[in-house]
Amino acid sequence: MSTDFARIMTLLRKERGLSQKKAAEDLGVSQGLLSHYEKGKRECGLDFLVRAADYYNVSCDYLLGRSPEPEGKTISIDDIPEDDPNVRDKVTPGSVMIAFNKKLINNSLSVVFSLLSKCRSSTMIKECCGYIMLAVYKILRYIYSANPKNDQNFFMIDQSTAPFGTNAAMNVCESKISAASSGKALAGEDAVENSDDLSANTKTLAEDYPRYYSSMVNLIKNSESRIKSLGEEE
């Protein structure tokens, strides 16, 4: 069974404020068995999977990590709202992938910036924005450089050193983000003081960002699938 099952079962129980004993009683199993399910030490049968899906009001596909959506639906490009309803790209067969991923990224960034506005840390805001801009800058340079006829004087930094300089700048941003998000203020910087302002779970995120939630969870799933694939290639 998917290793995501144990993680998601634990997440759902904790988000609903249920003790393991209470959830086990409601699901008709011993606390010890539920503990094994949540730790990934045992695989459950189909009957328990369906019972758990009904109990937490989610789909079996969601419990198994096959879908990032609690309802288990698979989204298409038409299901994702435009971040800017006044701008609609003309979608052709060759541009579907770009249009789909553009929506995922734009909508997820809307969630990111909304959460940043709640962190009350100028360092977090400044460095997160800087990190994102540097990532876009790096990609832009690679695309621009794909055509050797494009004049590299468009940029101030030499093409041979730009990627390494960008990586270094991103690492600095990330180190400051890591410190600020942990509540540690570096010299001349501030940090997140009240982490409760950033309290979130699947239910509150879906309620707070109904237009963008699907994009965000699908971006997370796609990103983590890409990360997991690195280990599979070794």
Contact yes or no for 124/180 (Cβ under 8 A): yes
Confidence of residue 92 (pLDDT cuts 50, 70, 90): low
For the cut 60, the answer to whether the pLDDT of residue 127 exceeds it is yes
| pLDDT, tens digit, 9 for 90 and up, residues 161-202 | 999 999 999 999 999 999 999 999 999 999 999 999 899 988
Any idea which residue has 């553009």 for tokens? 102
Question: Length of the chain in residues, anyone?
Answer: 234
Distance of CA 234 to the CA centre of its chain: 24
| pLDDT, tens digit, 9 for 90 and up, residues 33-73 | 999 999 999 999 989 999 999 999 989 988 988 888 787 66
Q: Of the given ranges (72-81, 85-94, 153-162), which has the lowest mean pLDDT?
A: 85-94
Q: How far is CA 188 from CA 116, 120, 122, 130, 150, in A?
A: 20, 16, 11, 17, 40
Biggest distance spanned by C-alpha atoms of the chain: 69
Q: Which stretch of DSSP H or E encloses residue 71?
A: none
Q: How far apart are the first and last CA of the chain?
A: 22
**What is the torsional sign of CA 158, 164, 170, 173?**
negative
Contact yes or no for 173/127 (Cβ under 8 A): yes
Q: Residue ranges of the domains in the chain?
A: 4-63, 93-233
Amino acid identity of residue 11, one-letter, is L
- Domain 4-63 has what CATH class? mainly alpha
